Amino acid sequence: MENNLWKHIVTVRQESPLVHNITNYVVMNNTANALLAAGASPIMAHAKSEVEEMVAISLALVVNIGTLDEYWVESMILAARKAKSLKKPWILDPVGAGATSYRDNVLSELLILKPTVIRGNASEIIALSKANITATKGVDSTAKSDEAIQAAENLVRNYGSIVCISGETDIIINGNDKIFLKNGHEMMTKVTGLGCTASALIGAFIGVIENKTEAVVAAMSLLSISGQLAANKSAGPGSLQLHIIDKLYNITEEEFSADLKLDS
């Protein structure tokens, strides 16, 4: 797998997949910029009058419930159902799963539509699998990634999704394999919505890469290596937010390969 990751990054740059995002207000600007920097082509659209048509012209769909409300949830369901029927890949980012009963009910409805990939922090993945063995504190994770592995395996079994638990170590789980990615930097937890950026980048990669597990690993490693290179020259999370965008844009194969820390 390791030898394919950079190739996948180049593929995204070359094919510039159109990625349809139904995401939250907090991260829309950063998500769009991250997708552009990585070479993809973002579209943000949520009107019930157009989401199905937008899914049809896109290569992948990103559904992120961060600032959900009743209207947006209807759009998310319309779009995810369309993606499922057209066999287009889509990713679910269950922001704040477990924080309110409303979020959990919405997530149940979305899970039925069998996301190609689910990416969340450990608390969210645990809440999502209904194990609910930990209390979610808002949108930040209070559970360790490895505690969430069993929860992720439940989700893989029940919905056929690839699950990515992001954290100090990112863990990507599909039917057969567990992949551990040990890149990233602690300061990244102080920038809002980098998890959302991860999900959006995964959207771009699953839109054009056939092997969906490799697509997820490529996207996650691109972001986490870019993040640690960016953090090394950042005085704080404000600088880090923009340096990550720069690095997604100008990272070289040498930089990527020198820092990759992958176990499987």
The encoded tokens of residue 262 equal: 């992958």
The reply on whether position 192 binds its own copies by CB under 8 A is yes
Restricting to residues 131-150, which ones interact with its own copies according to CB under 8 A?
137-140
Choosing from 2, 7, 48, 158, the residue that interacts with its own copies (CB under 8 A) is: 48
Known binder of ligand: residue 193?
A: yes
The reply on whether position 169 binds its own copies by CB under 8 A is no
Q: Which residue has the tokens 């922090």?
A: 121
The reply on whether position 14 binds its own copies by CB under 8 A is no
Q: Are 200 and 19 in contact (CB under 8 A)?
A: yes
DSSP helix/strand/coil, 113? coil
The encoded tokens of residue 3 equal: 């030898």
The reply on whether position 29 binds its own copies by CB under 8 A is yes
Q: How far is the CB of 138 from its own copies (least distance, A)?
A: 4
Q: Which residue has the tokens 């899914």?
A: 55
SS3 content of the chain, % helix, strand, coil (to 5): 55, 15, 30
The reply on whether position 66 binds its own copies by CB under 8 A is yes
Known binder of ligand: residue 16?
A: no
The reply on whether position 255 binds its own copies by CB under 8 A is no
Choosing from 12, 37, 143, 198, the residue that interacts with its own copies (CB under 8 A) is: 37
Beta strands (DSSP E) in 156-230 are: 162-166, 170-173, 178-181
Known binder of ligand: residue 44?
A: yes
The reply on whether position 67 binds its own copies by CB under 8 A is yes
The reply on whether position 99 binds its own copies by CB under 8 A is yes
Alpha helices in 38-88 (DSSP H): 51-57, 70-85
The encoded tokens of residue 215 equal: 């697509």
Q: Are 200 and 31 in contact (CB under 8 A)?
A: yes
The reply on whether position 82 binds its own copies by CB under 8 A is no
Q: Which residues bind its own copies (CB under 8 A)?
A: 18, 24-30, 32-33, 36-37, 41-50, 53-54, 57-58, 66-71, 96, 99-103, 137-140, 189-193, 234-239, 241-250
